[in-house]
Structure 1
Amino acid sequence: MRLTDELGAWAARQRWYAGKSHRPRFRILDAQPASGGATRYLLMDDAGALPTLYNVPLARISAPADGDDVVARDGDDYLVDATRDTGFTVGTLAEMGVDVTRVTGSRVLTGEQSNTSIVYDVDGEPTIILKLFRTLHHGENPDVTVQRVLSDSGSPFVPRFFGSLDAEWPDIGRDSGAARGTLGFAQEFLRGVRDGWAVALEAARENRDFTDAARDLGIAVAGVHGALGAALDTTEAAAEQVEATGAAWRRRLSIAANEVPAVADRVEAIGALYDAALARPWPHLQRIHGDLHLGQVLAVPAGGWRIVDFEGEPLRPMAERAIPDLPPRDVAGMLRSFDYAGAVGDGPDPMGWASACRDAFVESYAAAPGAIDLDPVLLRALVLDKAVYESIYEARNRPDWLPVPLAGIDAALA
């Protein structure tokens, strides 16, 4: 009982713990051998709306050293966060099939939220990054599926994929009595990269032309869509799928109208555009990024863009995250992100800056190899749906930012 209490108290303080809105109720579902003599504790929190399973590898040491993150005491020994233990980190990389003979060290990146990232030096240079998933689900993580497929296809728009690691755990809800899912994966570490949001924000603040970068980004997104469509299943948008999408749009619109008076004033016009989009021919559905914005792309020095984080919403079941979707949804997400960068950057002409970026992005996407046809009415509806969702979020969390999505709604309706 004491170990569960200490382990739970430590987990609840971590940035990757997703249950901060409720009082947790932890239990150790399983304890499994892990690399380097560590133990992988699978910690269940079943106090929230959905039970959540956490991946907590711990290393056992006799005395903590500088840098050790002590989680609990177990007799005379200490249990510490294994992601800072070289035996565990290098051993895990080896389990993924990666040659570790030239690995000279590893370190945990700070600032992570839903996952933990470990960077490995090869011959003294940072070369590999391992993403350790902290919330576990049955099924292969989309980040692994998508990045492996794109890497195998030779796509220049994602980091090179090196390997992944799975595990099984008890699950009485399944006929087999067990679930199996992804613990983490390793990929190329890109040196000197900058987060796309930071790069765009700086350009917007200085009112510096960003259209060349937006064009390159449009080519990258189109290339990813083309490669995914060629390598993974695509499907026609059946009537019931179109109807389900329309129902989701209207559900979000109803919530926004109840919480944001300015949206309520525009319900009729928004609904009319939704109706028009639902009546148009739709492109084939396929795997997409699903949460694309400027924070999900990396600017490589003299190397263009890399798209990352294909994981989707970490708390959604894997089966839902793998459902084929509309490629223009990714385009809409990026268009909204340009608007946010312009507004937050607060340069001398934020709307003009964002508009130029949007035009350049769409133009280059449409002309690029692998691009999906962008029906303008459907794209406007997807932009509207994104802005409607943003209005709900901003009204609840950042009221000062509410004008940003409202301006986006008006622009899409214009």
Structure 2
Amino acid sequence: MEFDDDLGAWVARQRWYAGKSHDPQFRVLDTQTVAGATRYLLMDDAGAVPTLYNVPLAEVSDPGDLEVVTTTAEGHAVVDATRHPAFTVGLLADMGVDTSRVTGSRVLTGEQSNTSIVYDVDGAPAIILKLFRTLHHGENPDVTVQRVLSEAGSPYVPRFYGSADAEWPDVGRDSGAARGTLGFAQEFLPGVRDGWAIALDAAREGRDFTDAAHDLGVAVAGVHGALSDALESMDASPDQLAAVGRAWRRRLAIASAEVPAVADRLAAIDAVYAAALDRPWPRLQRIHGDLHLGQVLAVPHGGWRIVDFEGEPLRPMAERAIPDLPPRDVAGMLRSFDYAGAVGAGPDAAAWAAACREAFLSAYTAAPGAIALDPVLLRALVLDKAVYESIYEARNRPDWLPVPLAGIDAALA
């Protein structure tokens, strides 16, 4: 099948297509024959950074209820292969998973940047496969982190089953090729709800959430400890400290230019940054990097599982693998409690969020082998997160701007 306008238009309509702000300019970088399908690697050259998309397609004589992406010259229908069993089962087998008892597969709806496929398995727990839609050279952090945590027996992540890689042409590399992660398979957890939905309900109704927040603190500390043991850690060098300080102040400058209330607090925020940069820092290590209540799942009668260690999907893989500050994850969760309280708008929302933060921090710091939390550094990270949020809300949801501004004032107080 040759690339045509119908295929380009279909890709541009998908939720996982990241170039919504520009008109796409696709070209076929490579095609690869795989079980039950052809993998099209489509490069979109129109954005600020060229982006490579993973688009497996299958030719079928009878598409049934499946959406037809385009039609071949021979009149065959071309469909999204993630909905075609020959491809989905073959991909799972490529990951080293026994597929002899797989009875069916289905695509989960609501996915944003990737595609998740759930497999029913006769006599065994179901499996979920995350197919990455944007490809980068290097192993995806979601694979690296969840594999090592699973091998370490961590109870705070789903069990990891396997992953698959691919190569594609890359003239910018000496070898002429890049290699990266296509996706990975792990335990599917039925009946779960994400922490954001649960916390929002509790905040709205004014129900106590401190036991759940405590258990989350234990889970995050456990993950940080296991990652510190299993993967590289290092002391922060002067250059790394300076780079973090520049990033903080760059976001602060942008926020000050766009949000007058932040500009009024610029000096006070910068003073906290300066103090944090003069403090001893914990060792840098792998962390989640984007931790909030939407990244944790409550398993019925099974506690919390932390998911989505992928990082920002459009950042280069090498950047996403750089060791970072564990308190950054803590700051992200603290800000998430504030958001749940504010959006839930229940009785005494501020007190509800404060109780969650206290329970989370107490559990995190008391966990065995916990990483010490310097209050000045943590305050700077909370401020940086709230400053970033103020930029986002001012641009996208002005009605929500009071949430990060309240967070800034609370951190400064």
Separation in structure 2 between the aligned mates of residue 42 and residue 276 of structure 1, nearest angstrom: 47
Is the counterpart of residue 147 in structure 1 residue 146 in structure 2?
Answer: yes
Query: Shift of residue 382 of structure 1?
Result: 0.1
Query: CA offsets, 1:294-350, max 9 Å, x none?
Result: 000000111110000000000000000000000000000000000000000000111
Separation in structure 2 between the aligned mates of residue 108 and residue 204 of structure 1, nearest angstrom: 32
Separation in structure 2 between the aligned mates of residue 2 and residue 146 of structure 1, nearest angstrom: 38
SS at the partner of 2:161? strand
Instruction: For 1:334-373, list aligned pairs within 5 A.
Output: 334-373=333-372
Query: CA offsets, 1:35-89, max 9 Å, x none?
Result: 22x10000110000000000000111123212x1211111221111000111111
Separation in structure 2 between the aligned mates of residue 222 and residue 179 of structure 1, nearest angstrom: 35
Partner of 1:244: 243
Please identify, of 188-197 and 117-126, the stretch whose mean Cα deviation from structure 2 is larger: 117-126
Is the counterpart of residue 71 in structure 1 residue 73 in structure 2?
Answer: no
Separation in structure 2 between the aligned mates of residue 138 and residue 238 of structure 1, nearest angstrom: 26
Separation in structure 1 between the aligned mates of residue 370 and residue 131 of structure 2, nearest angstrom: 32
Is contact 1:4–1:27 with CA below 8 Å preserved after alignment? no
Separation in structure 2 between the aligned mates of residue 369 and residue 116 of structure 1, nearest angstrom: 36
SS at the partner of 1:30? strand
Aligned length: 412
Distance 1:10 1:125, change over 3 A: farther
Separation in structure 1 between the aligned mates of residue 95 and residue 249 of structure 2, nearest angstrom: 44
SS at the partner of 2:180? strand
Is the counterpart of residue 51 in structure 1 residue 50 in structure 2?
Answer: yes
SS at the partner of 1:3? coil
Is contact 2:55–2:133 with CA below 8 Å preserved after alignment? yes
Partner of 1:3: 3
Instruction: For 1:160-309, list aligned pairs within 5 A.
Output: 160-309=159-308
Please identify, of 26-35 and 338-347, the stretch whose mean Cα deviation from structure 2 is larger: 26-35
Separation in structure 2 between the aligned mates of residue 3 and residue 269 of structure 1, nearest angstrom: 55
Percent identity of equivalent pairs: 80
Query: CA offsets, 1:140-175, max 9 Å, x none?
Result: 000000000000000000000000000000011111
SS at the partner of 1:16? coil
Query: Shift of residue 123 of structure 1?
Result: 1.2
Runs of 4+ in 1 over 4 A off after TM superposition: none
Separation in structure 2 between the aligned mates of residue 312 and residue 12 of structure 1, nearest angstrom: 23
Distance 1:138 1:4, change over 3 A: farther
Is contact 2:3–2:28 with CA below 8 Å preserved after alignment? no
> Partner letter of residue 293 of structure 1?
H
Instruction: For 1:74-113, list aligned pairs within 5 A.
Output: 74-75=72-73, 76-113=75-112
Partner of 1:32: 32
Separation in structure 2 between the aligned mates of residue 191 and residue 95 of structure 1, nearest angstrom: 24
Structure 1: 5+ residue runs without aligned partners?
A: none
Is the counterpart of residue 399 in structure 1 residue 398 in structure 2?
Answer: yes
> Partner letter of residue 340 of structure 1?
Y
SS at the partner of 2:173? coil
Separation in structure 2 between the aligned mates of residue 117 and residue 253 of structure 1, nearest angstrom: 36
Query: Shift of residue 3 of structure 1?
Result: 2.6
Structure 2: 5+ residue runs without aligned partners?
A: none
Separation in structure 1 between the aligned mates of residue 103 and residue 62 of structure 2, nearest angstrom: 24
Query: Shift of residue 370 of structure 1?
Result: 3.2
SS at the partner of 1:116? strand
Is contact 2:282–2:372 with CA below 8 Å preserved after alignment? yes
Q: TM-score, normalised by structure 1?
A: 0.98
SS at the partner of 1:136? coil
Query: Shift of residue 4 of structure 1?
Result: 3.2
Distance 1:21 1:124, change over 3 A: farther
Q: TM-score, normalised by structure 2?
A: 0.99
Distance 1:4 1:172, change over 3 A: farther
SS at the partner of 1:135? coil
Is contact 1:119–1:126 with CA below 8 Å preserved after alignment? no
